[in-house]
Amino acid sequence: MTDTLALSLPDLDVVPAVWSRYTDLVIDHGQGSWLTTVEGERYLDYSAGIGVTNTGHAHPRVAAAIATQAAKLIHGQQNIVFHEPGLLLHQRLAGLMPTPGWGAFLSNSGAEAVEAAVKLARVATGRPAIIAFRGGFHGRTGQTMALTSSRVTIRGDFEPLPGSVYHTAYPYCYRAAGGPHDPSACTCDWEAQLETLFAQMVDPRHVAAFIIEPVIGEGGYIVPSPGFLPRLREIATRHGILLIADEVQTGYGRTGRMFAMEHWGVTPDILVMAKGIASGLPLSGILAPREMLGKWAPGAHGGTYGGNVVCCAAALATLDVIADEGLVENAAARGRQLLAGLAPLKDRHEAVGDVRGLGCMVALEFVHPHARDPRSPDPSMVKRVLAEALKRHLLLLSAGSWGQVVRIIPPLVTTQHEVDHAIGVITESVEAAAAA
């Protein structure tokens, strides 16, 4: 039956090439950490749909919540009516923050939620400028492209982009100008560079917000030095600048905490969520103090589908699954297991420049060890590793400004046994790629 289905499909080039492709797999269904093709081949999915399927593919409780809700009401527009899943979700999301008084605004995609955060920060402060961090990724709309500096491909062909956006250094300890070092003894000069930006380009009195990924995602899974976010919080508070945490990729348990900012005990002023929030249905949102949300005049922001009722039902079921199955704790444990299993690769292969991660965001950075600069990025090695892993039925992704990073994003339901299997496959794939 699957062969007939495959034969009846149009050529794959009906989908435009702008969706730069990792694989040509045509998937029939997914379950937990696994995807099955129309030919019946199974793949361990450590891409998780780019960090979305935290509860695994088609979790039965999430699927049931979606089906039940879809049979009752598919669209109840936010400006026109209230609905029970939406009301409950707003309340539960606010409860994810450490103090009372928070509220949520719901939208459809990560980029849309970042747009909302920037619009709110400008209204709340009456200031124009936004400071983003080098290597960060925030989306593909006009404003979010302007904030993004992870790769030139994202923004390079689309200038001019919205202004009053400034970029400053993020502590990327492996690529620090003074040489690679352990983040726990960070010597990156990010604070001096920020002070220089204030002195040369933008007065802090004109800055509405910093926007920061607590762990840089598309830019290469870069975990900051321990003092960075607490210090940034101090600087923001001192200047009356809001701190926006873009937790689109790091949130919802991915790093072994519900939100990554918790690792450093830092509370942002606005938190951006998407990806894992509804296990794959398009939903996103921001969390901010209700008082701040109230500064938006009625009608100042919105959208036809924001807080869609089926997506809200999926999001409520997702929160239940995360709590009942201990997925945040599992993310921390499986992440430690992955890092421990992959760390020896750095000693065994000169091409592996760095092995790093936090929770279930794990990365291998590849370099040309015999180049004049031994940290010279090696994207070709990454492509070979991904291809070798795919041959062994493991899906991985790349990241990094040069495509020099293999990123490993298991669903948070992944098991100890699956992680052991993945470590074996990745080890073999690096060996095969290094020998090629």
Ligand X SMILES: Cc1ncc(COP(=O)(O)O)c(C=O)c1O
CA 318 – CA 323 distance, rounded (Å): 9
Task: Candidates 21-29, 58-66, 134-142, 172-180: pick the segment binding ligand X (CB under 6 A).
Answer: 134-142
Task: Candidates 36-44, 210-218, 311-319, 385-393: pick the segment binding ligand X (CB under 6 A).
Answer: 210-218
Contact, 214 vs 244, CB < 8 A? no
CA 31 – CA 203 distance, rounded (Å): 52
Determine which residue in the list 45, 115, 213, 269 makes contact with ligand X, applying CB under 6 A: 213
Q: How far is the CB of 114 from ligand X (least distance, A)?
A: 6
Which 265-324 residues touch ligand X, going by CB under 6 A?
274
Number of residues binding to ligand X, judged by CB under 6 A:
15
Determine which residue in the list 138, 151, 155, 254 makes contact with ligand X, applying CB under 6 A: 138
Q: Are strands 270-273 and 405-408 parallel, antiparallel or unpaired?
A: unpaired
CB nearer ligand X, residue 121 or residue 423:
121
Which contiguous run of DSSP H or E holds residue 337?
helix 327-342
| 368: contact with ligand X by CB under 6 A | no
Give how far the C-alpha of residue 391 lies from the chain's centroid of Cα atoms, to the nearest Å: 26
Which 255-274 residues touch ligand X, going by CB under 6 A?
274
CA 363 – CA 260 distance, rounded (Å): 16
- Comparing every residue's Cβ against ligand X, the nearest one is 110
| 114: contact with ligand X by CB under 6 A | yes
Contact, 62 vs 318, CB < 8 A? yes
CA 431 – CA 267 distance, rounded (Å): 42
CB nearer ligand X, residue 11 or residue 19:
19
216 bridge partner residues: 222
The token pair that represents 259 in the structure block: 């939100």
Which 331-350 residues touch ligand X, going by CB under 6 A?
none
Task: Candidates 30-38, 245-253, 307-315, 422-430: pick the segment binding ligand X (CB under 6 A).
Answer: 245-253
Q: How far is the CB of 169 from ligand X (least distance, A)?
A: 18
| 217: contact with ligand X by CB under 6 A | yes
CA 125 – CA 345 distance, rounded (Å): 48
How big is the chain, counted in residues? 436
Task: Candidates 14-22, 105-113, 342-350, 404-412: pick the segment binding ligand X (CB under 6 A).
Answer: 105-113
Distances from the Cα of 216 to the Cαs of 173, 177, 324, 361, 410, in angstroms?
A: 12, 18, 29, 10, 17
CA 241 – CA 121 distance, rounded (Å): 9
| 155: contact with ligand X by CB under 6 A | no
CB nearer ligand X, residue 213 or residue 269:
213
| 246: contact with ligand X by CB under 6 A | yes
| 139: contact with ligand X by CB under 6 A | yes
| 218: contact with ligand X by CB under 6 A | yes
Comparing CA positions, the residue from 151, 209, 215, 172 lying closest to residue 398 is 151
Determine which residue in the list 43, 105, 133, 137 makes contact with ligand X, applying CB under 6 A: 137
CB nearer ligand X, residue 111 or residue 312:
111
Which residue in this structure is represented by tokens 């709340």? 124
- Give exposure, 312-336, as e/b (b: 16+ Cβ within 10 Å): bbbbbbbbebbeebebbebbbebbb
Q: How far is the CB of 108 from ligand X (least distance, A)?
A: 8
Task: Candidates 135-143, 256-264, 318-326, 360-368: pick the segment binding ligand X (CB under 6 A).
Answer: 135-143
Report the interhelical angle of 228-239 vs 190-200 (nearest 10°).
Answer: 20
| 143: contact with ligand X by CB under 6 A | no
For residue 160, is the peptide bond before it cis, meaning its omega torsion is within 30 degrees of 0? Answer: yes
Q: Which residues bind ligand X (CB under 6 A)?
A: 50, 109-111, 114, 137-139, 213, 217-218, 246, 248-249, 274
